[in-house]
Structure formats: C-alpha cells, structure tokens
A = this chain, B = another copy of it.
C-alpha cells in the first residue's frame, strides 16, 4: 500500500487512474460509472488503480458536463419561534436525509427568515446548483414557488399550498397529512365519550394546516357555536390565551380539540388552574403526537398522530422520481392518513 495520496498535493484525477491502470481516460470513466461494456480484466485493473490512488470523482467537473448535481435544496421559511420549539422540522429533515442518502444525493439547507433571504435563495436556485427543491411552510407571500417554477426546477411542497388555483395546478405536487380527517377523528372521539359542548383552539389561520383542522372540526359540528372557536398560534402561550378566552365565553364547555400538542399543554394548564379536572370535566385532544410534549402533560395527552418523517421521505421520493423521469407527467399529490392516539386526557 502506498502512502495515502489523497491528503497532500492535488487529488488524483481520472487521468492518473487511467495512467496507472494503463487504459484511456474514457475506459476509466466507464468503470467508475458502473463499468458497463468493459472487459473484466481491464475493469479490475482500473478498480485496483482507483483503490490504490484513493480516487474520488470531482463532482464539479462531472456536474459541468452532465448537468446533474445530485443535490437538492430544502427551503424552510419559518419564523424563529416555530423552527426552534417544534420537532416538526427536525423530523422532516431526518426523513429527507434518509431518503436522499439512499439515492446518494445531498441536501442543501436554505433557511429563510427575512425578506432579503428570499432574494438570496432565488439567486442560489437560479445558479443551477441543485436538481430539485423541497419547499416547506409556505406562506402566502412567499415568492419561492414562483421562482422555482420559472426556473423550471422540479419541486415538491410540504403541506397543502394555500394560494388560489394551487389546488387545480396539475404541475403542483404536494404531500400533506390528513389534517381534516385527523380533526374529524378527534371530534368523533370526543363525541363518542359523550361530550356535548366541544370547543376548539386553532392554529394561525394563514396556514392551510390550521384551516384544514378547523374545517374537520366543522365537518362534524356544522352548526357549531362560533363562541366555541378560539384562534391560537401553535405556541404554548397561544394555547393558554385561547383557553382562557374560551373559558370566559363558554364556561359550560366539556371538551376541547386543540390543533397542536404544544398549545394543548398550555390549555390543560389553564383548565387545571381554573379548577377543571381533565378529562373528567373537560376532555382534551391535541394534534401532532409530539412525544416530548404529549407524553408529559398531566394527564398525558390524547392526540392525533401525523407521520412527519414519512412525509419528508415521501416528498423526497416523489421529487427524485420526477428527476429521474422528467418526461413523465407530474405524480399526484399525496395525503398521509392520521390516526387517533388515546392516552389519558380524553
């Protein structure tokens, strides 16, 4: 074994591999890329040379000619508060990472927080460094989908897009959890245990996930009292405020469906502080099934499970499929089912 040539000086190139193996650069290239159509004897020689030199292809050079980066961008536009407190993103990233790794692609993470970040991200995407884009947490004014579309970059969106016409755009692929169905499950459960005056605490209504959960609630309570609906913001504080409000408006409520576990933890606290027993006096169902929250409220939280990591994986798979087969028509969007997880709070 020679010294590791990889470290010092120039990294070995295909040229040097070819030379050592006594073949042409073209043949070496063929071997490195699968070796189809190369006689076994030569292939072995090249393979040995690769190992000996510690050769690793230079991706920049390869990209230059193939126009394939083997990298995709993940764009997350989310204000600080949620990005930090919600395991949502970490789980997503994990799912994406896994799927991407399996296909030997890389993940470039682009976080947007200010206006000018969108510019930067747009420029970057225009630079052609990634083959596709995964978009999250789209807010109505986010220019990125438009940019990405204009650039002709394949993309998949996490969560149902909310702008007008999005739904009917056949080119728009998204993956979402069945928020509406989940909400129905929650309300149904509350009903099945005999609750009559079921309130709800929603997320911010500029996000489709919040809207869909509220719609699910309304599906089962079509002529519900608007006083039973309070608007939160997916934070524990927001849950506290909303619950306080509800209690003031409708002291007779006997159940609450809260659109996130974190908000539910705040809500339960308010209920107990107000002397209501959970679940005896007021039953509570959350949404998310975030282990670190739902398993730690008192009492432990009954909630709706969503498959976040699976969502990330699915998005990635859809995107990769599009990349590998650009001709095919856009795959259809996917809604992942949600499920009820019964613990103690309802």
Chain A: residues with CB nearer than 8 A to chain B?
4, 6-8, 11, 54, 56-61, 63-64, 69, 71, 74, 80, 83-85, 87, 89-91, 93-94, 97-98, 101, 104, 106-111, 113, 117, 120, 123-124, 126-129, 150-152, 236, 262, 265, 291-292, 296
Contacts and interface: CB of A to CB of B under 8 A. Distances in A.
Contact of A63 (B60, B108, B120): B60
Nearest to A296: B236
Number of copies: 2
Contacts of A7: 150-152
A312 B291 CA distance: 27
B101 A117 contact: yes
A152 B56 contact: no
A94 B83 contact: yes
Most buried by B among A60, A63, A71, A117: A60
The 5 closest A-B pairs by CB, nearest first: A60-B63, A85-B292, A97-B111, A56-B126, A60-B64
25 contacts: A7-B151, A7-B152, A8-B152, A11-B128, A56-B123, A56-B128, A57-B127, A58-B64, A59-B60, A60-B60, A71-B108, A80-B94, A83-B94, A84-B90, A84-B94, A84-B292, A93-B109, A97-B109, A98-B113, A101-B117, A104-B120, A107-B109, A108-B108, A262-B292, A265-B296
Contacts of A57: 127
At the interface, is chain A mostly helix, strand, loop or mixed? helix
Contacts of A56: 123, 126-128
A296 B85 CA distance: 12
A271 to B, nearest CB: 14
A150 to B, nearest CB: 5
A283 B312 CA distance: 42
Given A60-B63, A80-B94, A93-B109, 15 more contacts: A4-B150, A6-B126, A56-B126, A56-B127, A58-B64, A58-B128, A59-B60, A59-B127, A60-B128, A83-B90, A83-B94, A93-B111, A94-B113, A106-B124, A265-B296
